[in-house]
Amino acid sequence: MKKITILFISFILIFSSLAKADEGMWFLAFLNKNYDQMKAMGLKLTPEDIYSINNSSLKDAVVALDHGSCTAEIVSDKGLLLTNHHCGYGEIQAHSTVEHDYLQDGFWAASFDEELPNPGKTVSFLIEMSDVSDQVLSQVNDKMSEQMRADMIEKAIQKIQAEAVAGTNYEAEVQEMFEGNAYYLFIYETFRDIRLVGAPPSSIGKYGGDTDNWMWPRHTGDFSIFRIYCAPDGSPADYSTDNVPYTPKKYLKVSIAGVNEGDFAMIMGYPGTTNRYLTSFEVEEVMNHENAIRYEVRTTKLDILKKYMDTDPEIKIQYAAKYAQSANYWKYSWGQNLGLENLGVVKRKQKFEKKLMKWVKKDKSRQEKYGEMLDIIENSVTKHTDADIAQNYWFEAIYLGSEIEQFALENFGFYRTLQSEDQNAIDSMKEIMKETGETYFKDYNSALDKELFVAMFKIYIAKVGEEFYPSIYDDIQADYDGSIERYADDLFSKSILTDEDRYFAFLENPTAEAFGSDFGFVYAFSVLQTYWGIMDAKDAEDKDYTKGRRLFVDAFMKMYAEKDPDHLYYPDANSTLRLTYGTVGGYTYEKTVYNYYTTVDEYMAKEDPKNDEFFVTDRMKKLYEKKDWGRYAYPDGTLRIDFLTNNDITGGNSGSPVLNGNGELIGLAFDGNWEGMSGDIAFETEYQKTICADIKYVLWVIDKYGEAQRLIDEMEIVE
């Protein structure tokens, strides 16, 4: 029996009393005993229908957007994709102007020729996955240093990846699982010509905005439509007018039978990150550093963005996607901390750690191997506290604050090319940087960014230790009497990174000397060096941290395996394809009963003309007055918008297909509820829910609101 198979049948929940069918992000290739439970709950498919290497299967209809930032599903034989509105928000915003505001008005391509290209957007198919644990770990042993172990593992991974895709256009990625106790190989095919086909207005696709984000009840038609294009021979290709719609191996049938409480529901997608193996020390660190700092910094950032967006329609469009992206995890951080506190997760982890150490101490060999694992983790967390705080403030206030740092990094390769004095390479890079500059400055406002720079830099200096100050701060002290505002005046009036005209004038006659001495570049390189220093300081205290984590997971695996060697468990999410299953249903929290679905009647009742988050268009009002729900109505005459399931999802699952027992599309997963915000660290089985857009509402919007009948005709809709 292979090592990974042993892991799968050995791992069980840290808190075994919480193990239920609705918890778990399972690999499609290893459903094992899950299948019997899924079948009893209503699954009509075989494991081969879900995952197959030799035949088309559901895995071939579910794709990763942009290498896992979201999920999408194919719903026609012409490569038509459904995903969330918020997953396509950046593209919708990029195509919007004051004259043609697709965010406000929506967009519906009337033909293939009107479908809009999106440079940089990708769709990846999983071709196959396999266990490579033995190959990766064959040359390592417990006597090695952590650095030597890491080097050996990396060498093995590079070899496996290269051999796996030799002679193909595929991509290979070996992923660590169970904190380095196992490794998997994933092979992907990635398509690079993805075009926007349709999107509802934000008054449907983003209804409720930040107020309703992470909340239930919800009334958001969170969907957008794209299409995969490929070369005429079916292979991936960059955008070209010669490309054709992609013919998939598999596409999903779309069910308009509707959903009812208790119905089986499974979700397939690419969940981003969970951290359910953290110790109590690490949970406290996440709460006190990562979440608290993110919430603090982004509160200031969002206030500045909103001030400018509220006063200028052009800026509102320019920064719409940036604002939404920042606001999403601003609220998440607040909600997760509340959830972890309410559940007493730190105390629960501490209780488990005492139990685990009691088991370790019962056996001398276990004591020798595992006796110091928790001390290693605790010592690392304690010793790197200052560096960890600085790292989080640097990421939020410097890297995600003013846009100077990220734009400078985008130009860094060009700077290196200029230093090489290779004129052919310089000319080639100039064209690339022109495109980069056009994209960047299209959605950039210097006055806004300047105010953001001052506020973010002040937060950073006020919150971190002096040992983590960037060298540029010495210049600010010496040359500007410590005034960040005066420094910003020069920075934003002189740098090529803060003004479109200066940037393109530089590109006409670029030199390494001019670039290297530019105000913005000097600043950006200074704070980048600071980041390297922070990470060096943190790494110095974390020499054996990975060892402690690996031993911790290995120890509780073995402890529980003694009692129940056949129990199934799953690795933390890491943007690889997973399946989760459960049922449709509502919940009760603090004596409030929450229904499992919402309706258009409730959507209309929520309207607030003075609040753009709850704005309803005149067209929607007219359609509501007619109440022409057509075949999309439920038997009670209502048009439902969203519904709940108890599936286990996280970020990256956005846009994932919600499937019935026949593998037919019944909804799109797009959010979680406030009461279950602890889920990435501790799954809450009683309250944690997945919020899904009902496919019947999605189709109604496409059909009746968007009048995009050609898209309805393209799908295979089943009653």
Instruction: Specify the 3-state DSSP secondary structure of 556.
Output: helix
Would you say the C-alpha torsion 650, 676, 594, 612 has a positive or negative sign?
negative
567 is catalytic: no
Cα–Cα distance between 61 and 250 in angstroms, integer?
5
Q: Among residues 273, 255, 275, which one has the least CA distance to residue 265?
A: 255
Strand pairing category for 597-599 and 592-594: unpaired
For tokens 């930040």, the residue is 210
Token readout for 186 is 């994933």
The Cα angle at residue 551 between residues 550 and 555, in degrees rounded to 5: 125
Token readout for 615 is 């704005």
For tokens 């952590």, the residue is 146
Facing residues of 224 across strands? 83
Give Cα separations from 468 to 201, 418, 458, 459, 482 (angstroms): 45, 30, 14, 13, 17
Q: What are phi and psi of 73, to 5 degrees?
A: -135, 145
**What is the maximum span of the chain, computed from C-alpha positions, in angstroms?**
76
Contact 104, 314 (CB under 8 A): no
Which amino acid makes up residue 134? D
Contact 24, 570 (CB under 8 A): yes
86 is catalytic: yes
Strand pairing category for 717-718 and 254-255: parallel
Would you say the C-alpha torsion 472, 477, 478, 480 has a positive or negative sign?
positive
Total Cβ atoms within 10 A of residue 170: 16
Q: Among residues 113, 116, 136, which one has the least CA distance to residue 193?
A: 116
Which member of 57, 60, 86, 554 is catalytic?
86
For tokens 């579910």, the residue is 62
Contact 517, 506 (CB under 8 A): no
Give Cα separations from 297 to 310, 364, 452, 491, 509 (angstroms): 20, 48, 11, 22, 38
Which member of 133, 654, 656, 678 is catalytic?
654
Which member of 212, 222, 648, 680 is catalytic?
222
Give Cα separations from 203 to 197, 206, 222, 477, 643 (angstroms): 18, 6, 10, 48, 19
100 is catalytic: no
Residue positions annotated with a catalytic role: 86, 222, 654
